[in-house]
Chain A
Amino acid sequence: MGSAPSRRSVIGGSAMAALGGMLAGFGAAPAAADAGQTGQPEGQQGGTRQFYGRYQAGILDEAQLHAQFVGWDVIWGEGGKKEQLRALLRMLTDDAQRLASGRGVLADTEAEMAADPAQLTLTVGLGQRLLDQVGAGKNAVGSMPEFAGDKLDERYGQSDLLVQFCSNDPTVLAHAVRAVGKNLRGLAKHVFTQRGFIQPASGAFRNLFGQLDGINNPAGDTRELAVFGTQENPSWISNGTTLALRRFEMDLDAWDELAVSGRDFALGRRQKDGSPLSGTSVADPVDLDAANELGLPKIGANAHVALARPGSGDEVIHRRGYNFVDGERSGLLFASYQRDARTSFIPVQRRLAAADALNQWLTPVGSALYAVLPGIEPGMYLGQQLLD
């Protein structure tokens, strides 16, 4: 691939201004108004989403109701590794574009199940180890560091290959995952399948703590900028991005013991309507300087929103997470897209891991980081900009 952008580069010019505006949203202007996505989310519809484009689908677009994040490790055969990865990605591209358009994959034994994709998207990312093995994307994303409090289960660790499957129909989703998995037999070893669900509500969704999650997500141009950067300051590759995938188990039994006021103080927002404790409406800004009659801060210094607040425009991330219930375990499948996780997700997560009041009820058990490939035009394969 071409020259990677400098990791230390500062987003400049209009980009800075736009993300700065995003940042200002946390203190001065109502950020939720920026979301501008109220009413019936398009995510609940049937039909198709465009597979081809500048960016891969499943990133900037409205989150679908169901997701499966599936990880594989590549099994190397004889011959050049780059050539093998190219063949694998060419097949995956063919699978993805067929499934997204409502057709079965080649060799599909249940193509009928693909007929209404219900907004199906497949989004492909690669781990740094795989990139290093094929000698491409040097230092593109690096590896996810360990954070304080991590109790990682290797079942949910880093994989070479990650496909985020999303659809409004869980049956369509199950078929897509199986069809792709069957085609990958012998070429890649299955590492994990992490399933999630949400019910979108005003640009956010209720997580299993009962909180409105995603209120301050960037929207529109700001989202695009935070995820893909600019031409001058792109992600690890032009029109690519990075995906941070973390699995947080929630101790719902202990959470049950906490009164609503305690829950609200831990988050810094009200469970009832998502409004910040410094305001009265969900659209009100998070004001960390707001004090009550006794002069005490309305939002505690260790409240989740206080620590998650981006410290600069560089730290803005786009969250696209899902709830999970897996047997007796419940939690949040945290997924965020950002231009460079090293300057955004990772420093924010370090702050949260060190002091977030919610940590008492959260256990991180999975953690991985991926270099997400750029979008493609018909006739191309995912990864072509990197491997050719």
Chain B
Amino acid sequence: MKTTKTTAALLGLGLLLAGCSATPDPAAQTPAAQHETQAQALQASDTWAKAAKDGMSAGFGTLHNAGSQAIEITGVSDAAGNEIQLHETVGTGAQASMKQMDGGLTIEPGQDAVLEPGGSHLMFMDLKQPLAAAQRTSLTFTFADGSSAAADFEIRNFSGANENYEHGGQKPEHTMDHSKMDHSKMKHDG
């Protein structure tokens, strides 16, 4: 896919630039050629999203900041125009619930933001078209400096990620229903 190659090239360039920036300038937030943008510092790996016909779904993966300064993801979007929120865990154990992050997702230099079931994740609020297993979808991350970077998310079957949501308007039971549907189709003994 063309998108993939572009992203890979972009990320590669980001790494290269990060490696070359001997004198990081925190004030430099414009995508000038000799300075890294926040987007260029993003290295996404193991990115995947839960297959769903409609309603809510979630995206996971490891977002690494390969740059020399903190990066802040302020928004996530896709070509379908889905509303995608950054969510975090609130509380622990059976009491744990998910809510939208208050601000953006900040990743310090050299650090990872791990998005995983039961932890922070990307939330598709109401799918405009299905996320079909074995397909992939491209998500675009927008950063505090106005730069953006795309990453491919592989779509996979997943029975989990049915956490409760703090705010009432998200219809968590919707997600549960789809999860049950998946189960009923699952007849294999492998």
* Interface residue ranges, A against B (CB under 8 Å): 70, 77, 87-88, 90-91, 94, 105-107, 109, 177-178, 180-187, 189-190, 193
Contact present for A94 and B154 (CB under 8 Å)? yes
B27 contacts partner chain A, Cβ-Cβ < 8 Å: no
Tell me how many residues of B have a C-beta within 8 Å of chain A. 22
Contact present for A190 and B156 (CB under 8 Å)? no
List 10 interface pairs A-B (beta carbons < 8 Å), by A numbering.
A77-B132, A88-B134, A91-B154, A106-B46, A107-B48, A183-B134, A185-B157, A189-B188, A190-B189, A193-B190
B21 contacts partner chain A, Cβ-Cβ < 8 Å: no
Q: A87-B135, A107-B157, A182-B157 are in contact. List 4 more A-B contacts (CB 8 A).
A: A94-B154, A109-B160, A183-B134, A185-B133
Contact present for B185 and A185 (CB under 8 Å)? yes
1/0 contact string of B107-151 vs chain A (CB within 8 Å): 000000000010000000000000011110000000000000000
Contact present for A107 and B134 (CB under 8 Å)? no
Closest 9 CB pairs of A and B: A190-B188, A181-B190, A107-B156, A106-B48, A87-B134, A91-B134, A185-B157, A107-B158, A177-B190
Contact present for A187 and B190 (CB under 8 Å)? no
B87 contacts partner chain A, Cβ-Cβ < 8 Å: no
Inter-chain CA distance A7–B51, complex, in Å, is 43
Q: Which of B38-95 contact A (CB under 8 A)?
A: 46, 48, 50-51, 60
Contact present for A186 and B157 (CB under 8 Å)? yes
Chain B residues with CB under 8 Å of A88's CB are 134
Given A107-B48, A107-B156: A187 and B187 interface contact (C-beta under 8 Å) = no
Chain B residues with CB under 8 Å of A190's CB are 187-190
Inter-chain CA distance A35–B135, complex, in Å, is 44
Inter-chain CA distance A87–B117, complex, in Å, is 24
Chain A residues with CB under 8 Å of B188's CB are 181, 184-185, 189-190
Which of B117, B158, B190 is A180 in contact with, Cβ under 8 Å? Answer: B190
